[in-house]
Each structure stands twice: as C-alpha cells, then as structure tokens.
Structure 1
Amino acid sequence: MSGKLRVRVDQDKCQGHARCKSLAPELFDLDDFGNAHEVGDGTVPAGLEDKAWLAHSNCPEIAIDVTEE
C-alpha cells in the first residue's frame, strides 16, 4: 500500500482561479484574496487521493504539489 499523500499550494504561483477548491473543497480553502491554501497540514484523508490528483492536474498555474510520504 502506498503512503499518505500531502498537498501543498505554492503561494508564489497561485493566481486565485480556485479550481482546486471547487474540485476538492475538503482539501483546499481560500484566503481573503481568493488564493488557495491547503486545509490543515495538507494531509489527504483516505479516500480523497483522487481529488488531490484531480486538483493538481487542473491547476492552470501548476501551483499544487502532491507528495507521497
């Protein structure tokens, strides 16, 4: 079995398109400026791995990193 996934939003790249929030609201929140950030420490709960990769692949700024621990 693979390890846990973790998501991280690169704040320098995020332009506030919010696709990640619409695709995976459990994993991302928006700040007051509409820029995304990961929920909590970015750990992806079991069963939401597909949503993490979906958000990653749909980010127009390639601002979402998904890492396996």
Structure 2
Amino acid sequence: MERNVLESVDHFHEHFLNPCSMNSKGRYNVPTNPDEEHSIEMLKSSIAEYEWLNGSYWVSAKAGKA
C-alpha cells in the first residue's frame, strides 16, 4: 500500500472523462481499464468553459455577466 496514491475531489467528478468511483464500503474502486488508470483526463466541454482566462465562464465574468 505504500506505493499507492489516491486523490479525489468528489464535487468535480462531472468534469472528468473517467471519474473514479467508490464501492458500497466507501473505498475507491481500482480501475480495471488501463486507459483509465489515473482518471485525470478532463472533458473538452469543461476545459472550454473553465480554462483560465479564456474559458466561457471567465469571459462572461470579465464582461460582468457571471
């Protein structure tokens, strides 16, 4: 267990292509697909919206619409 690293921000799971999941005992599930190993790839739509400083969210905030 010393070599394993787990980190999750549950309230951002909807922004990731392969979000991590938890089992009924509250433990993280180990990914079974090697392509989902780190669960760090973000959705292109989330990047387009929230990328600092040119994402649509920030453009609206600059214009005083957020």
Normalising to structure 2: TM-score of the pair? 0.31
Higher relative contact order (CA 8 A, sep 6+): 1
| Structure whose residues are more often helix by fraction | 2
Bigger proportion of residues as strand: 1
TM-score for both structures, normalised by structure 1? 0.30
